[in-house]
Structure 1
Amino acid sequence: MAPSRTRDPGPSTQPKPKKARRPKAYHGQDEPTGVPGVQKLKAQLRSVRRLLAKDNLAADVRVETERRLRALEADLEAAERARKERALAVRYHKVKFFERQKVVRKIAQTKKKLARDGLRGSERKELEGALAELRVDLNYILHYPRLEKYISLFPPEVRLGEVPPPEQAKEKAKTDKRRAELRARIRREMEAGELGGEPELEKGGRARSDHERSRGEGRKGGEKRGRAEKKGMEDDFFAGDEETDGGGGDSGSEFE
């Protein structure tokens, strides 16, 4: 019996699985929100200005191009402002988070003391004044100008009792003055009702915000990494909270 011939199956007709594409890295061409980024806007501005430099440009085209130029300049200013806000928010996120925790803790301690029975009038008045200043501090942290470098309420030299060297005295005085101005402005806005009088009860005044939870702080994968270092930072930062009941004060220097 002759051997039977089998047909060569040839190449498989099944489609090959597509490889998962990696997300493109963000290089400043577009903002994460989908708005054109700074570099792309600058490139568009150069193109528009080259077009306007032409002598034989039609009048209607020139008018439209000038309108486009003004719109691009406004978009660029907004994009640069947003980029600066984002950079400062990332830079000072940790110190603001710790300071907010510290102030919220001090507010809770002061309110607990005010709830005690048998307080003398002078003691109650003193505690109420301290509570008012702490609430100013909390609003200071929550509503600090987003385009300015953050000036800490509890800078390291104050927490550790260090005396800054004489060559830094001028810069420290400038920083102290700016902090006092901002706290005075916050106090006026609270008195006018523009800011909440009890910021610790608002969503933004919580020691740990929903935004921080969404960023995954404390996830299981990162709990062990840096735990000892973080614990040491917290112990240093919150040292003396039980003994100190006053506000943040107006001393210290800018947190870098």
Structure 2
Amino acid sequence: MAKYKETSTAVGVDLTRALAHGSSGIRKKMRDITRLLQRDNLAADIRIANERALKTLKLELQKVQGDQKERKFAQKYHKVRFFERKKAIRFYIKSKKSVDALNKQIAEIEANGDKEAEKELKKQLKKEKRVFGHSQVDLAYVLNFPKNEKYIALYATNTTPVEKLPKKAQAGIKASNERKEEFKKLFADQLKEGTLELGLEEGLRKEGSEETAENSNRVRTSANHVNKKSEQIDDVEAAAENEKDDFFE
């Protein structure tokens, strides 16, 4: 068996090199430490230090693997999450405006004393508040869906009736729908308790900032394109002038 070359002390084990090489480096270091810990004649302080190092490496490996999974899913579901977020935001804003408008109308009618019209508007408001509640949950869903999970589309539409799909596909859709409802309930509860990781207003502000940045980038890219075209035209005109001068010399 090869000798354990890396210095170990009662204070700890140097994990710098292992952590610098990502998951492969961490796994290799874990194997080395596991082999070392199998020795019967290992000093107590070295054993304790390496057992602690092994626990640290296990946690770091979980973190690295989690980050890798997040990057993979972010790339895979970027487009669908983008469109669903935009749709949920439109739904939320439209519904909120309807609730605000009805509240304003009711306040005006109450001042005029028109009880019948007030009663009718309050019925409409009750319905619209239910719709607004759904829009809040939908927005919470698209903003807070875990990045390390396969994204389950909120507004998925199946062109083929479910009953006409193969049994395996039906089972998959059923499982996805059940999982989706679990997340919706979770986010609905967090919304009531005020414990959402990303609140609705915060999410809207973040979305607005990102949209402004994207628009600025598009304007900058367009301006650069125009400048480049202008420079190309100037170069062509300059070349033509030089050719004309050469001709008349």
Q: TM-score range by the shorter chain?
A: 0.5 to 0.7
- Per the alignment, in what secondary structure is the counterpart of residue 120 of structure 1? helix
Compute the displacement of 1:85 (Å): 2.1
Please give the alpha-carbon distance, in whole angstroms, between the structure 2 residues aligned to 1:139 and 1:54: 53
Counterpart contact for 2:89–2:139, Cα < 8 Å: yes
Query: What is the rounded CA distance, in whole Å, between the counterparts of 2:165 and 2:145 in structure 1?
Result: 29
Asked whether the equivalents of residues 92 and 139 of structure 2 are also in contact (C-alpha less than 8 Å), the reply is: no
Task: Quote the Cα distance in structure 1 between the aligned partners of 2:79 and 2:217.
Answer: 12
**What is the match of residue 189 of structure 1?**
190
User: Which stretch shifts more, 63-72 or 171-180?
Assistant: 63-72
Give 1:111 shift. Answer: 2.6
TM-score, normalization by structure 1: 0.61
CA contact (8 A) 2:70 2:148 kept: yes
Residue 163 (structure 1) aligns with: 161
Q: Sort the Cα spacing of 1:197 and 1:67 in 2 relative to 1 into closer, same or farther, 3 A.
A: closer
Matched, 1:93 2:74: no
User: Structure 1: which amino acid aligns with 2:77?
Assistant: Y
Post-superposition offset of 1:149: 0.9
> Distance in 1 between the 2:209 and 2:152 partners?
21
Distance 1:198 1:80, change over 3 A: closer
| Distance of 2:24 and 2:197 partners within structure 1 | 39
Name which structure has the greater RCO, CA cutoff 8 Å, separation 6+. 1
Give the Cα–Cα distance (whole angstroms) in 1 for the partners of residues 25 and 212 of structure 2.
31
Give the C-alpha shift of residue 39 in structure 1.
Answer: 1.1
Structure index of larger Rg? 2
CA RMSD between the two structures: 3.3
Alignment partner, residue 84 of structure 1: 69
Q: How many aligned residue pairs are there?
A: 186
Specify the alignment match of 2:90 in structure 1.
105
For structure 1, which runs of at least 5 residues remain unmatched after alignment? 1-29, 223-256
Seq. identity, %: 28
Larger helix fraction of residues: 2
TM score, norm. by length of structure 2: 0.63
CA distance in 1, matches of 2:170, 2:182: 18
For structure 2, the 5+ residue unaligned runs are 1-16, 106-116, 223-249
Instruction: Name the CA shift for 1:59/1:162 in 2 (closer, same or farther; >3 Å).
Output: same
**Structure 1 pair 71–198 and aligned structure 2 pair: CA distance change class (3 A):** closer
